[in-house]
Copies of this chain bind each other. A is one copy, B any other.
Amino acid sequence: MKLVIGNKNYSSWSLRAWLFLSWHELEFEEIRVPLYQPGSREQLLGFSAAGQVPVLLDEDLLVWDSLAICEYVSEQYLDNRGWPRSRAMRAEARSVSAEMHAGFHAIRNRLPMNARASGRHVGLDQELQAEIQRLQSLWQDLRSRHGSLGPWLFGKFSIADCFYAPMAFRFPAYGVTLTGAAADYLSLLREQPLMQNWLEAARQEQEVITFAETGIDSQPQS
């Protein structure tokens, strides 16, 4: 398999798919296309007409969205271990992942991922505060109900954890703090060797993208 990703420093959607494949130790080649550089749009369109990252190439098969990639890989290579085994938990994990996939617009637009950044300050308006509060209570609730099964949102590591993983870079960069089980979960995400590996690679990248000009976190990723 080949996984086309954007800049590791900026591309939160790339991280989601990359983390899922990497966690399960599936072999894949990384193809990095730095976003918003001259020619990068044309390069992305060469992989997929949607022009977004991430894109998975598996022989002649093309999958061009983070959630579709995780569903495909879970089904094809993991006997569906990407999701919880229990019917009820699987439905909940898909809801939680889809909520991130289509939502949290304020966090995605106003706290764009910049993995290597720290000490950033952004005014937390009402919409942003409401979304952060939703995350705080969602994580706390999931950890409280499924904690006996393991340390992840649904006990065992699942696609839902991949979907929230970029928060482990975003919140510390912008000084957003959570409390209790939600704070513990954020730390757990951040300290994973795979997340540290991604962060180290982000630090090595040279490109600098100005968010205001690009709206990078909502386009061209999904």
Contacts and interface: CB of A to CB of B under 8 A. Distances in A.
A175 interface: no
Contacts of A95: 50, 62-65, 68
Nearest to A83: B71
A42 interface: no
A101 B99 contact: no
B49 A63 contact: no
Contacts of A60: 88
A43 to B, nearest CB: 17
A138 B49 contact: yes
Interface in A71-119: 71-72, 75-76, 87-88, 90-92, 94-95, 97-99, 101-103, 105
A134 B101 contact: no
B94 A63 contact: yes
B63 A102 contact: no
Interface residues of A, number: 37
Nearest to A73: B91
Nearest to A94: B68
A87 B76 contact: yes
B222 A68 contact: no
B134 A49 contact: yes
Interface in A25-81: 49-50, 52, 60-68, 71-72, 75-76
A88 B68 CA distance: 12
A102 B102 CA distance: 5
Contacts of A75: 87, 90
Given A49-B137, A76-B87, A91-B72, A222 B99 contact: yes
A218 interface: yes
21 contacts: A49-B137, A49-B138, A50-B95, A52-B99, A61-B88, A61-B91, A62-B95, A63-B91, A65-B98, A65-B102, A66-B98, A67-B94, A67-B101, A68-B95, A68-B98, A71-B94, A72-B91, A75-B87, A76-B87, A98-B222, A101-B102
7 closest A-B pairs by CB: A65-B98, A68-B94, A102-B222, A68-B95, A68-B98, A72-B91, A67-B98
